[in-house]
Amino acid sequence: MTSYEHHYYDGGWQASSGTESIAVISSATEEVVARVPRGTAADVDRAMTAARAAFASWSRLTVEERAQWLEKLAAAMKPRVPQAAEAIAHEVGTALGYATKVQVEFPVMMIGMNAKFIREARLEEALGHSLVVKEPIGVIGCVTPWNYPLHQVVCKVAPALAAGCTVVLKPAEMAPISAFMLAEAAHEIGLPKGVLNLVSGSGRVVGEAIVAHPEVDMVSFTGSLQAGRRIAAVAGEGIKKVCLELGGKSAFVILDDAPLAKAVAAGVNNCMQNSGQTCSAWTRMLVPRAQHDEVVALSIAQLAKLTLGDPFDAATRLGPLASAGQRDTVLGYIDQGKKAGATLVAGGGRPSHLPKGFYVEPTIFAKVDNRMAVAQEEIFGPVLCIIPYDTEADAVRIANDSPYGLSGGVWAGTPERAMHVARQLRTGQVDVNGGRFNTLAPFGGYKKSGIGREIGPLALDEFFVLKSIQR
Ligand code: NAP
Ligand code: MG
């Protein structure tokens, strides 16, 4: 795999002001597969100067010009799909097939979709004697996590650029390679200098320097609740807009008239995607008490179909977790669940046949009480909690009894009943009766899952500020 020695800003590859590098570790082999520079606040400062300078001209390009740049960027990423997927399979542990489709092809497509969104956006509106104009907010500081590394970068960079903003990006230390490939693609097409800037480094040093920098007009962050809190506080000092995409503990409500086998299979697959390292995963399965044992049996059977193994093996559905730290956190939660009295019905430890790599067996707890830590806190691993409920109202209450509100699902015997429950859930997304992911639908949280929305045409609005001109 390619290593990178330089940051990318002001239209070129720039030497790091720090002397250290970050080792990128393969989740499956535990070996160092690449290195990127460990930047400092001085690198951030230079990148900010470039982003500020570029904003003046980039924001004045026509919508059509910016749309064409995005289409060129998407085209330049296409030949990089296999390399980016391979990098993410190493970094995150995502099975290569899934990594190719979901981790890379989808975000590359999303770059191009933003060209369409900005072409179709309504940027001016007459209200009485005012003309209300949407203008780009300015320089965006982007800080992203490791679990869907390219997707999370594109969710910020593509609409920001489309809207006329410029960007300074810090990708996650654990999974930075695909962001470097995006910078390479930008360089290859000759994207105007300073529009997309990349500084790699730690959250504590480079991340904080971005968030605190006086040239940043808005911070767009995806990551944990803990880091989000800190970022919102630092940005608040500077009266900067923040968009926060944080964690989740989403509920999947199965109603008593649902087609059980279908619903349970969908629920297990959703919870386990990317080995549970998915912010929107349905990690709580709420089931009618009378059907609890049947659901447990169906869940165990579905789980058996999800082969755990090497992300580069074609038979693998679930790879290792991203890091030793992530593995240990998840094992710690499994231990807590057992101690709290949840019934372990599948998995629960490290697989003995995979001695190398950060593997954790996909795990199911049954008869979980929603007040237990395993039901309240984000585990971010392959752990499903099956929670029995008594009435529909009880199910809604339990689903909403969470500090988070990112995603969720409902399966009922009729669309009407599913919709009735979906409307009562305090969460940013709900899939009813197997509703599929929609690339046009805004994504983001209620409650402590965050502030603001990403994905689709409505996400562009985060990057605009309104000006009212009275005539
Ligand atoms: P994290 O530890 O919060 O890190 C996210 C990013 O923030 C990383 O780039 C990190 O740098 C940086 N960072 C950490 N502390 C910072 C600070 N004080 N100032 C500035 N930057 C800082 O999260 P993670 O462990 O990578 O990712 C997992 C979390 O992300 C989960 O909670 C998950 O639910 C959430 N997530 C949410 C969504 C969503 O859309 N809602 C999507 C995906 C993931 P380092 O590289 O040094 O760690
Ligand atoms: Mg972290």
Q: Are residues 42 and 167 in the same domain?
A: yes
378 lines ligand 1 (CB under 6 A): yes
Q: Are residues 58 and 203 in the same domain?
A: yes
211 lines ligand 1 (CB under 6 A): yes
Q: Are residues 228 and 125 in the same domain?
A: yes
- Rounded to 5 degrees, φ, ψ at 386 are -95, 120
Specify which residues 288 forms β-bridges with: 389
Q: Are residues 213 and 275 in the same domain?
A: no
Distance 202 CA to ligand 2 centre (A): 10
Distance 389 CA to ligand 2 centre (A): 34
Which residues does the chain have with pLDDT short of 50?
none
Q: Are residues 209 and 329 in the same domain?
A: no
Distance 212 CA to ligand 1 centre (A): 17
Ligand 1 atom nearest to CA at 378: 32
Q: Are residues 258 and 286 in the same domain?
A: yes
223 lines ligand 1 (CB under 6 A): yes
C-beta atoms surrounding 105 within 10 Å: 17
Q: Are residues 98 and 62 in the same domain?
A: yes
Q: Are residues 455 and 365 in the same domain?
A: no
Ligand 1 atom nearest to CA at 443: 40
Looking up residue 100, the CATH number of its domain turns out to be 3.40.605.10
Q: Which of 124, 208, 162, 40 is nearest to 468 (CA)?
A: 124
Distance 221 CA to ligand 1 centre (A): 8
**Alpha-carbon distances of 454 from 148, 239, 246, 311, 425, rounded to whole Å:** 14, 21, 12, 28, 20
Which residues, 6 or more positions from 158, have their beta carbon under 8 angstroms from its beta carbon?
A: 70, 110, 111, 113, 114
Q: Are residues 48 and 167 in the same domain?
A: yes
Q: What is the pLDDT of residue 1?
A: 86
Looking up residue 392, the CATH number of its domain turns out to be 3.40.309.10
Look up 237 and say whether it is catalytic. no
Q: Are residues 265 and 395 in the same domain?
A: yes
Q: Which residue of 22, 27, 142, 143 sits with most ligand 1 atoms within 8 Å of its CB, as the best mutation to test the pocket?
A: 143
**Domain span at residue 114?**
6-246+449-470
Q: Are residues 39 and 166 in the same domain?
A: yes
Which residues, 6 or more positions from 153, have their beta carbon under 8 angstroms from its beta carbon?
A: 107, 142, 144, 169, 171, 178, 179, 182
226-238 tens-digit pLDDT? 999 999 999 999 9
Q: What is the pLDDT of residue 304?
A: 97
Look up 279 and say whether it is catalytic. yes
Which residues, 6 or more positions from 394, have their beta carbon under 8 angstroms from its beta carbon?
A: none
Among residues 91, 245, 454, 462, the one annotated as catalytic is 245
Q: Are residues 364 and 229 in the same domain?
A: no
Establish if 1 belongs to a structural domain.
Answer: no
Two tokens, residue 230: 């800190």
Among residues 155, 243, 279, 385, the one annotated as catalytic is 279
Distance 326 CA to ligand 1 centre (A): 13
Give the total number of structural domains in the chain: 2
